[in-house]
Amino acid sequence: MNALPSMSLEGQVAVVTGAGSGIGKAVALALAEAGADVIPCERSGHQDRLGKVCEAIQEVGREAYPASLDLPDLDSIDAMVTHAVGQAGRVDILVNNAGINIPSDALDVTESEWDAVMDVNLKGLFFCSQRVARIMKDHGGGRIVNMASQNGVVAYYKRAAYCSSKAGVVNLTRVLAVEWAPHQINVNAVGPTFILTPLTQSTFDDPDLREDLVSRIPLGRVGQPEDVTGAVVFLCSPAASMITGHTLLVDGGWTAL
């Protein structure tokens, strides 16, 4: 028995939702570099984002099978899973990365805004997990990593719906871990702090807001997508085989204060 557990994902097949940019793109490439073939998913109408992602996956010698995925539409989820199994034969890893945020004061949040955030961040994540877990169960197990947020355990302004959805992800992760442990499916979450991506750039363009965010992070900087990938690869790897139901916070120390 080796004293140092492997973090290799050689021979694994991974689905990554919201893989067209930002954290999802970085995660898809990191999983490929660790040895996995990847099904990167993006919304219909945004498939052009996956071109460079697939090229980068293939450059490290892994296969890429791009897929369309419109959350929380169950027909779209089923079509994605059918595509993944048809192309790669199985799914060993699912990274539920796709998510949205609609900043608004709690007094002003509309029903449509609330539903939109919950539909993608929680409902879509659950049914992706359910559909993929059915495949994993029949193939001896697998790993599911949900992209939660530090805002699933602490609050921040103008994020009533977002914080609620991510808190739901944190506890849903625990529930699925308990229910699916008998099937050897490990379910964990990663909770990043504020990460600089194309989708969050407008947040950081506000100098006062950026200063406030950085002041709350003991390491003194906002995160980059690559800061998140190590945690995801670790939780998908043999090195994390005894970890399930956990949320690993990648927050620069924010929640330690």
List active site positions: 162
CB 148 within 8 A of CB 172: no
Residue partners of 162: CB distance under 8 A and separation at least 6: 101, 102, 103, 117, 121, 149, 151
Tokens of 128: 């992706």
Which residue is associated with the tokens 């097949």? 13
* Residue 24 to residue 42: CA distance in whole angstroms: 10
Tokens of 239: 């090195």
Residue 144 DSSP class: E
Burial label for 242, CB within 10 Å (0-12, 13-18, 19+), is: exposed
Neighbours of 59 (CB within 10 A): 12
CA distances from 123 to 67, 73, 129, 179, 213 (A): 19, 9, 10, 18, 28
Give the full edge-to-edge strand order of the sheet including 67-68.
67-68, 37-42, 13-16, 93-96, 142-147, 185-192, 247-250
